[in-house]
C-alpha cells in the first residue's frame, strides 16, 4: 500500500498497463520528455522508450488521428488531449469516426483506445481551459465516459479503460491532481459501469463525480453534525452507468440530489434525474434537486470561480433546505 | 363520514405508494411534515393504530409459494404477451429495487424461454423493447411462466433461478355494484392470479414486494 497523488496514480496506471501489454502506447503533446503538462506521465519515457511514448506537434486532430489509426491496426493507444476544452476541435474524429467505426464497418473494425484529458476547473485557468465537458462526451453514442475521483480509482479505471475494446474518454479532474490517497500494491483493474458508495446514509442520496466527490463528502460530514445522514455515491463511469446502485440507494433514502461540475443545461445529472423519475418515481419522497455550475463560461477570477463551482457549503445548504421543505 | 382534508397531492410519491400498499386513506390523516404533508412516520403511526388489511406480505411465506389475485382495470384489454411482459418488467424492477441483482429475465409460453442479458442495466422501457424481441436461450434468474388457461400453477425454481412467476388466465366474473345514485348494476370484473415461487434464500419481504409491484403495474396498465 502506498500513498500516491492523483497525478502520480495516472503514470502508475499507464506503467502497469504498458508493462503488461506491449501494444499499449502513449501519444500526445509533451507527454514524453516533459512528463506531461500536469506531470501525469513522468518516468514513462525512461522506462518504455520513445517508440512507445511519443511526443507530437500541437495538433489535437493529428494526435487523435494517429491514435485511431494505431488502434485500428493492432495497438491499444492512450492519447492525451491536454485540456478537455480542446475536444472542441476534435469532435469530427471522436464523434464521427472513433465512435462509429465499429458500426460503419459491420463490426469488422474496433477502436480500442483511451483519450485521457485534464478536465474541469478550480485552477484559475479561465474559460477556455477549465471546462467540465463530460456531458458533451456522454451525448455521443459509441463512447465510454469515465472520471475517477481517487488515486486508487485512477489506476483501476484507467486499466479497465485501456482493456476496453471501444473508445473511452478518460477525464482526469484537474482540481484533484494534488490530492492523495492510498493505492494498494500490485495490479489493480476495476470495472467500468460500477458506481461506488463513498458514504452510506439514510436521509438522502447525493450523486457526485470527479471534483465534486470530495466536496460532497465534506458536505455530508457537515450535515451529519446536524442530524442529516446523506449517502454519497461516486458515479465514476457515466457511460456505462451503474443505474442499479443509484436506484437502490434512492429506494432506501427517498431523496435524490446530484452535484455536477458541468454547466447546468443538460448536465449529466439531468440524465440521472430522468432515469430516477422513470424508474424510481414511487420511491421519491420529495423533489429532485441538481447542484451545478450555472450556465456561464467559467470565470478566471479566483473569487468568481469559487462562487460558481459547487462548494461543500452550497451542497450542504441546498440539501438541508430541501429536506426541510 | 370523516371530513377529509383538501387533498392536493402534496404528499410525496413514496408516501402515496406506501399509503396504497398499507391501505391507509391519506385524506384522513393529519400530516406532521413540512407544509402539513403526511410523512412515512405518520403512515406508520396510522397503521399501528389500525393494522392494514391482508396485503401481499401476509400471504408470502419465506422461500415458499404465494399468490395474489389482481383485479384488472375495468375495460382493460390486455393481451397475453403484453400481460406477461408487464409482469416480467415489474418483477425485474422490483427485484432490482430490493438490491437483488438479476442478470436475466425469462418470458415463456410454457416451453419457450427468452432471456435478456444485462437486464439490470436497462431502463423499464428498454427492457420492454428487449422482451419484445426473441433473444437466444440461456440460464436466467427469474422465469416468468405464461400459465394461460390452466391458471396460475407453478413449479419451484430450477437450479440457478431465484424465482418463478406464473401468470394465470384472465378470468371474468359478474359482480353487483351500487352506484352513487343508489342504482344497482351488474358489472363484469376481470382478474388474474399471479403466483410467485422463490428459492429459500429469497426473503419473504422481497417476494411480497415483487407481488405488490406486479399488482401495481397491472392495475395501472
* A203 counts as catalytic: no
> How far away is chain B from the Cα of A288, in angstroms, using its nearest Cα?
12
Chain B, window 173-212: residues with a beta carbon less than 8 angstroms from a chain A beta carbon: none
Q: Is A55 on the interface with B (CB under 8 A)?
A: no
Q: Tell me the chain A residues in contact with residue B40 when contact means C-beta distances shorter than 8 Å.
A: 254, 285
Rounded to a whole number, what is the distance in Å from the CA of A173 to chain B's nearest CA? Answer: 26
Average pLDDT of chain B? 66
Exactly one of A76, A129, A203, A215 is catalytic; name it. A129
The partner residue sitting opposite A285, judged by closest CB among B15, B99, B101, is B15
Chain A interface, best mutation among B97, B98, B120, B216, by max A CB count within 10 A: B97
Q: What is the pLDDT of residue B45?
A: 83
pLDDT of B200:
73
Q: What percent of chain A has pLDDT over 90?
A: 99
What is the mean predicted confidence (pLDDT) over A132-143? 96
d(CA B216, CA B13): 13
* Residue A84 dihedral angles phi and psi, to the nearest 5°: -65, -20
Residue contact B123–A285, C-beta within 8 A: no
Q: Of B149 and A145, which is predicted with more confidence? A: A145
Cβ pair A65, A28 in contact under 8 A = no
A162-171, A251-260, B37-46 — which is least confidently predicted? B37-46
Does A102 score more than 70 pLDDT? yes
pLDDT of residue A147: 98
* Model confidence band, residue B215 (pLDDT cutoffs 50, 70, 90): confident
Cell representation of residue A270:
439531468
CB A275 within 8 A of CB A304: no
Percent of chain B with pLDDT over 90: 0
A289 pLDDT higher than 90:
yes
Mutate to test the interface with A, among B9, B10, B11, B13 (most CBs of A within 10 A): B13
- Please tell me which residue, B140 or A300, carries the higher pLDDT value: A300
Please tell me the least confidently modeled range out of A56-70, A170-184, B146-160.
B146-160
Q: For B64-106, how does the pLDDT look when each residue is reduced to its tens digit (9 = 90+)? A: 667 777 777 665 556 666 677 677 777 776 766 655 555 444 4
- Name the residue among A313, A292, A319, A102 with its Cα closest to residue A201: A319
Give the nearest chain B residue to A323 (CA atoms).
B34
> Interface pTM (ipTM) of the complex?
0.74
**B43 interface with A at CB cutoff 8 Å:** no
Of the pLDDT bands very low, low, confident and very high (cuts 50, 70, 90), residue A78 is very high
Mean pLDDT of chain A, nearest integer = 97
Answer whether residue B112 shows pLDDT above 70: no
Question: Is A192:A144 a contact under the CB 8 Å cutoff?
Answer: yes
**Is residue A269 predicted with pLDDT exceeding 90?**
yes
Contact B27, B15 (CB under 8 A): no
Q: Is the pLDDT of residue A75 over 60?
A: yes
Q: Which three cell numbers stand for residue A78?
A: 492512450
Cβ–Cβ < 8 Å for A186, A220: no
When pLDDT is averaged across residues B184-212 and rounded to a whole number, the result is 76
Are A285 and B40 in contact (CB < 8 Å)? yes
**A311/chain B closest Cα distance in angstroms:** 26
Residue A28 has pLDDT above 90, yes or no: yes
In the sheet that A24-28 helps form, which strands lie side by side, from edge to edge?
Answer: A53-55, A24-28, A76-83, A114-119, A168-173, A144-146, A237-239
pLDDT over 70 (residue B6): no
More confident call, A247 vs B197:
A247
Of A254, A255, A285, which to mutate for an interface test with B (greatest number of B Cβ within 10 Å)?
A: A285
CB-based contacts of B126, cutoff 8 Å, min separation 6: none
What pLDDT shows up at residue B51?
Answer: 43
Secondary structure (H, E, C), chain A: CEEEEHHHHHHHHHHHHHHHCCCEEEEECCCCCCCCCCCCCCCHHHHHCCCCEEECCCCHHHHHHHHHHHHHCCCEEEEEEEEHHHHHHCHHHHHHHHCCHHHHCCCCCCCCCEEEEEECCCCCCCCCCCCCCHHHHCCCCCCEEECCCCHHHHHHHHHHHHHCCCCEEEEEEHHHCCCEEEECCCCCCCCCCCCEEEECCCCEEEEECCCHHHHHHHHHHHHHCCCCCEEEEECCEEECCCHHHHHHHHHHHCCEEEEEEEECCCCHHHHHHHHHHHHHHHHCCCCCEEEEECCCCCCCCHHHHHHHCCCHHHHHHHHHHHHHC
A240–B121 C-beta distance less than 8 A: yes
CB contact under 8 A, A278 and B96: no
Task: Write the pLDDT tens digit of every residue in A151-210.
Answer: 999 999 999 999 999 999 999 999 999 999 999 999 999 999 999 999 999 999 999 999
The answer to whether residue B31 scores a pLDDT higher than 90 is: no
Amino acid at each position: 500500500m502506498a500513498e500516491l497523488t492523483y497525478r502520480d496514480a495516472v503514470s502508475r496506471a499507464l506503467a502497469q498497463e504498458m508493462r503488461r501489454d506491449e501494444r499499449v502506447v502513449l501519444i500526445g503533446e509533451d507527454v514524453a520528455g516533459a512528463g506531461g503538462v500536469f506531470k501525469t506521465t513522468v518516468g514513462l519515457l525512461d522506462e518504455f522508450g520513445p517508440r512507445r511514448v511519443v511526443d507530437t506537434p500541437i495538433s489535437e486532430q493529428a494526435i487523435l488521428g494517429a491514435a485511431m489509426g494505431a488502434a485500428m491496426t493492432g495497438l491499444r493507444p492512450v492519447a492525451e488531449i491536454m485540456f478537455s476544452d480542446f475536444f472542441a476541435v476534435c469532435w469530427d474524429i471522436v464523434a464521427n469516426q472513433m465512435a462509429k467505426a465499429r458500426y460503419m464497418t459491420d463490426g469488422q473494425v474496433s477502436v480500442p483506445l483511451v483519450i485521457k484529458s485534464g478536465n474541469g476547473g478550480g485552477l484559475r485557468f479561465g474559460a477556455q481551459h477549465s471546462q467540465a465537458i463530460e456531458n458533451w462526451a456522454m451525448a455521443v453514442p459509441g463512447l465510454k465516459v469515465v472520471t475517477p475521483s481517487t488515486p486508487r480509482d485512477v489506476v483501476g479505471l484507467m486499466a479497465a479503460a485501456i482493456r476496453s475494446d471501444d473508445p473511452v474518454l478518460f477525464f482526469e479532474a484537474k482540481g484533484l491532481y494534488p490530492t492523495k490517497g492510498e493505492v494498494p500494491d500490485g495490479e489493480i483493474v476495476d470495472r467500468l459501469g460500477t458506481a461506488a458508495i463513498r458514504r452510506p446514509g439514510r436521509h438522502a442520496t447525493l450523486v457526485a463525480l470527479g471534483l465534486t466527490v470530495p466536496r460532497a463528502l465534506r458536505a455530508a460530514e457537515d450535515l451529519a453534525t446536524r442530524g442529516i445522514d446523506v449517502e454519497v455515491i461516486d458515479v465514476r463511469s457515466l457511460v456505462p452507468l451503474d443505474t442499479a446502485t443509484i436506484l437502490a440507494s434512492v429506494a432506501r433514502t427517498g431523496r435524490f440530489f446530484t452535484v455536477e461540475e458541468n454547466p447546468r443545461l443538460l448536465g449529466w445529472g439531468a440524465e440521472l434525474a430522468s432515469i430516477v423519475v422513470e424508474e424510481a418515481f414511487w420511491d421519491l419522497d420529495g423533489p429532485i434537486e441538481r447542484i451545478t455550475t450555472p450556465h456561464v463560461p467559467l470565470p478566471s477570477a479566483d473569487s468568481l470561480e469559487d462562487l460558481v463551482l459547487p462548494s461543500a457549503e452550497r451542497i450542504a445548504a441546498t440539501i438541508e433546505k430541501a429536506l426541510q421543505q | 363520514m370523516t371530513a377529509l382534508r383538501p387533498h392536493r397531492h402534496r404528499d410525496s410519491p413514496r408516501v402515496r405508494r406506501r399509503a396504497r400498499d398499507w391501505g391507509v386513506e391519506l385524506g384522513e390523516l393529519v400530516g406532521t411534515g413540512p407544509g402539513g404533508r403526511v410523512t412515512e412516520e405518520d403512515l406508520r403511526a396510522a397503521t399501528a393504530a389500525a393494522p392494514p388489511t391482508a396485503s401481499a406480505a401476509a400471504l408470502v411465506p419465506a422461500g415458499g409459494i404465494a399468490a395474489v389475485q389482481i383485479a384488472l382495470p375495468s375495460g382493460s384489454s390486455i393481451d397475453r404477451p403484453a400481460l406477461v411482459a408487464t409482469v416480467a418488467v415489474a418483477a425485474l424492477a422490483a427485484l432490482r429495487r430490493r438490491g437483488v441483482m438479476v442478470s436475466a429475465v425469462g418470458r415463456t409460453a410454457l416451453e419457450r424461454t427468452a432471456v435478456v442479458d444485462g437486464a439490470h442495466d436497462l431502463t423499464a422501457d428498454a427492457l420492454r423493447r428487449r422482451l419484445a424481441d426473441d433473444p437466444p436461450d440461456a440460464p436466467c434468474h427469474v422465469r416468468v411462466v405464461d400459465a394461460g388457461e390452466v391458471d396460475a400453477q407453478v413449479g419451484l425454481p430450477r437450479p440457478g433461478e431465484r424465482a418463478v412467476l406464473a401468470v394465470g388466465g384472465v378470468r371474468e366474473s359478474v359482480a353487483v355494484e351500487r352506484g352513487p345514485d343508489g342504482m344497482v348494476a351488474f358489472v363484469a370484473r376481470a382478474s388474474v392470479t399471479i403466483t410467485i415461487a422463490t428459492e429459500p434464500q429469497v426473503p419473504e419481504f422481497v417476494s411480497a414486494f415483487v407481488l405488490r409491484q406486479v399488482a401495481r403495474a397491472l392495475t395501472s396498465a
